[in-house]
Amino acid sequence: MKSTTNSIILEVACRLLIPVLIVFGVYVLVHGEYSPGGGFQAGVVLALAVVLNRVMEPADTKKGYWTFKIIALAGMGPIIYLLTGLWSIPFGGNFLEYGHLPLAVHEAERHLYGILFVEIGVTVGVMATIISIFDSLGKVGDPDDHGSLL
């Protein structure tokens, strides 16, 4: 049976670390209004989970990564941000004025939802950008790469 990982130590460590990293990234994202954290940090933590998975894979893997899709996902981040900003304009607000979002809650809570949507955009952009830079540095389209990690 062909081994699916680089080494057994990396596999066991990553099996523990990756779910914790994903949960912690989502926590940092949605709890960013109340505690230290926010979109940028959540994006990097979520990208670290994917990067650990990339590091765990064997050096002679033939699998190509989804590079064009990940660049498109990185472009979705600023677009989500921009749409959140434009969303309040038909309801009588200015660009990025969250108090006029059409949500049936109190005005200060509308600000919270606006901040959450904006930070989801930042998270998606940062996460996809970091994964795409890692793939560019590493093994993209490079099927005869036999170097080990160190």
The one segment of 3-11, 12-20, 69-77 that binds other proteins by CB under 8 A: 69-77
Interatomic CA distance for residues 52 and 14, integer angstroms: 7
Query: Dihedral through CA 77, CA 79, CA 119, CA 100, nearest 10?
Result: -170
In angstroms, give the least distance from the CB of 107 to other proteins: 8
Backbone angles phi, psi at 21, to 5 degrees: -65, -40
- Contact present, 127 and 46 (Cβ < 8 Å): yes
x-or-dash string of contact with other proteins, 13-52, rule CB under 8 A: -------------------xxxxxxxxxx--xx-xx--x-
- Contact present, 64 and 141 (Cβ < 8 Å): yes
DSSP H helix total and E strand total for the chain: 4, 0
- Residue 86 interacts with other proteins (CB under 8 A)? no
Interatomic CA distance for residues 15 and 108, integer angstroms: 41
Which CB sits closer to other proteins, 1 or 148? Answer: 148
For 22, the token pair is 């994903």
In angstroms, give the least distance from the CB of 1 to other proteins: 27
Is residue 1 classed as helix, strand or coil in its secondary structure?
A: coil
Which CB sits closer to other proteins, 26 or 71? Answer: 71
Which CB sits closer to other proteins, 5 or 40? Answer: 40
Positions touching other proteins (CB under 8 A) are 32-41, 44-45, 47-48, 51, 55, 67, 71, 74-75, 77-78, 81-82, 85, 95-96, 98, 108-109, 111-112, 114-115, 118-119, 121-122, 125-126, 128-130, 132-138, 140-142, 145, 147-150
